[in-house]
Structure 1
């Protein structure tokens, strides 16, 4: 058995173990395996193994997450959510779509899909119960909305995606925005389909909607919103590197005590950072030993020029069922895309990235993912969580096929 195959099987074993044992962080095992292979099999130095750490990506995640964590800690994002909720009252039939748009807007603004779901789900799920709306429908639309906004160029996931596509040679300034809009459009199609399939139009027009906080914006909230606006302008218009803009703004917010820097640092997604860092080190080592070339060969055999994006979306979705979409699947699949397309005889690398992004995130409605779990936890105790668990699990798993079909229609056929 070749070293390339052994290393690839070790990666698969780590991912399977992390999927079975939710209390384990795959990044820890990835670093351990990387050092084991590097030092004692490949005769690399410790510094060479550590050199596979994607420092720019890590700084981007820390900086962007810290900026929006401070906005959440000082109450700015909560007040934004309350304002949006007050605006969506009215026709109960439109509430699921309104919460989809709210989750989308909050996610795209910068906090990302998990933070947006944290903010929206605790209001959306009780609202669904009070208004006679299917909690299943509401959960699907909240998760889908959050994922639709996840690839915004200023969000955490969007910045991870930008760093990954730049590594494979896609450096056009407006490309991250194009990918974001394409993924958002396709996710909107799935949300609209869910709305009609799950009977959103049959809800009674008038229903009770829970009240939300009436607290207004204080000076610190206004200045925080200004900082977020500057961050968006700096990235989208002036092409300032994300970590440079984020850390500069965090430094200003901290200096003037506009947010609790210590609490924000403690609340950072350190587990995700460890996951991404550890797997990136191992994937870099696998690339050196030839494992990724072996993987591209296997995936290319399953695809044709007419189905390559569907195949990428399907396998990305399948891998994402038990793994982190942005922490595992995107860093694993996106670097493989150029070689897979070369073997299949296709040149549209942007569509391949969209397929991977789409497939890896559509399954996140599952209660095995963070987004689905947050919606499940927000369901009032008076309702059957077991039933919602089964519904979300079935929907999430079906999205591996739905994502492949949508990728085939929008990216392979059109």
Structure 2
């Protein structure tokens, strides 16, 4: 049995064991990374450790720490108050506002994890306050970040359009953006229906939503003001200066804690350490597979299949599965070039397959093993976090199947008829 096959089977086994036994998946994945790396691939420990997503760990810890402090300082409540007033009390509109805001941020070039890291805590604070389902709110933020990223200035759009242009393939950046946005918007609409959106609409009508509900106005003091300043500074640093979100958040919360030491008590305990271990463990294992060429092997094996439409569908499934466990930008950067020889044959519509790849790789970011999905789980109210994790996992698993099939049918099969 080849090392590639063994490593894929081990990954599947990790999920099975963690599901049926009381084993922490992140810890199991880290242990498996060492065993598979050293025994199967024959690499040293340094190579295994190199796959640990330090940036993701810092983002999870730094941002959740900063917003834990901001919550204790009353800043999150102030933002919630302002947001509800902004939509005139129509609670059902809040998830859509979060979707649009996040999409606008990423459409001008901000990284999706940075946008999710800033908007996520505010959105989840609104969800907690107004009893909006956390999966609905999380989907709005995650999918908004992905939708905006396919604009010609967005990160995903730049990656795909650059690769396509390099290989002289037919391209249409506006069409890629429009198609991806439409598919992603549809997933949010489904989530809205599945997680209580219609009940929110009915509640708005019953309470005369044209007027904002009575809310407790937060007490404005120094710690609240400086917490808001820190959140704004984090956004400016992330979106304008492109500095590391995790490090900037840690710096800001350390300064705030030094000034307002009483407020800082207990904030660090609200950092979502189990989620950080879970996600970083799984990503370390997947990064090991990528570094050892397992993803390239999968893509090449599929591209060699004689039936064009079947090969296209399998490529989309690989994009969805791997992206649900790792970097969307990375998988787009890996699979689009791998699909180039297949695309150049002209047997399928190149623009359609590229767009389908974009959709399949991005909508699964709601998986709790993806950066944005992990952030939403981390920001969910603690007593609901385990349930939210399971629901994000189920939703992500469903999209791993549905997104490739739907995008394949609409963008690959129909144009080929």
TM-score by length of 1: 0.64
Partners in 1 of 2:130 and 2:193 — Cα distance? 18
Instruction: Specify whether residues 204 and 227 from structure 1 end up closer, same or farther in structure 2 by C-alpha distance, changes over 3 A only.
Output: closer
Instruction: Specify whether residues 204 and 33 from structure 1 end up closer, same or farther in structure 2 by C-alpha distance, changes over 3 A only.
Output: closer
Show structure 2 runs of 5+ residues with no match.
106-114, 149-153, 164-175, 345-349, 385-390
How far has the Cα of 1:9 moved from its partner? 0.8
Partners in 2 of 1:180 and 1:255 — Cα distance? 45
* Aligned-residue RMSD, C-alpha: 5.1
1:266 aligns with 2:269: yes
How far has the Cα of 1:229 moved from its partner? 1.4
Partners in 2 of 1:244 and 1:180 — Cα distance? 32
Partners in 1 of 2:232 and 2:312 — Cα distance? 35
Partners in 1 of 2:144 and 2:281 — Cα distance? 26
1:291 aligns with 2:294: yes
Contact 1:227 1:249 in 2 (8 A): yes
Instruction: Specify whether residues 11 and 182 from structure 1 end up closer, same or farther in structure 2 by C-alpha distance, changes over 3 A only.
Output: same
TM-score by length of 2: 0.64
Partners in 2 of 1:394 and 1:240 — Cα distance? 33
- Equivalent residues in 2 for 1:260-339, closer than 5 Å: 260-261=263-264, 263-298=266-301, 300=303, 325=324, 330=328, 333=331, 336-338=334-336
Show structure 1 runs of 5+ residues with no match.
127-137, 154-160, 171-178, 379-390
Contact 1:317 1:359 in 2 (8 A): yes
Instruction: Specify whether residues 253 and 410 from structure 1 end up closer, same or farther in structure 2 by C-alpha distance, changes over 3 A only.
Output: farther
- 1:357-388 Cα shifts (integer Å, max 9, x gaps): 21342899xxx9977xx79x88xxxxxxxxxx
How far has the Cα of 1:14 moved from its partner? 0.9
How far has the Cα of 1:58 moved from its partner? 2.8
What is the number of equivalent residue pairs in this alignment?
Answer: 360
Contact 1:253 1:259 in 2 (8 A): no
Contact 1:310 1:408 in 2 (8 A): yes
Partners in 2 of 1:37 and 1:319 — Cα distance? 18
Partners in 2 of 1:256 and 1:243 — Cα distance? 20
Of residues 229-238 and 261-270 in structure 1, the stretch that sits farther from structure 2 once superposed is: 261-270
1:120 to 119, 126, 133: 126
Q: Match for residue 173 of structure 2?
A: none
Contact 1:27 1:276 in 2 (8 A): yes
1:403 aligns with 2:399: no
Q: Match for residue 227 of structure 2?
A: 224
Contact 2:116 2:141 in 1 (8 A): no
- Equivalent residues in 2 for 1:62-101, closer than 5 Å: 62-89=61-88, 95-101=91-97
Q: Match for residue 16 of structure 2?
A: 16
How far has the Cα of 1:2 moved from its partner? 1.2
2:140 to 112, 135, 145: 145
Partners in 2 of 1:259 and 1:5 — Cα distance? 54
- 1:331-379 Cα shifts (integer Å, max 9, x gaps): 9855743554345337988984554121342899xxx9977xx79x88x
Of residues 344-353 and 264-273 in structure 1, the stretch that sits farther from structure 2 once superposed is: 344-353
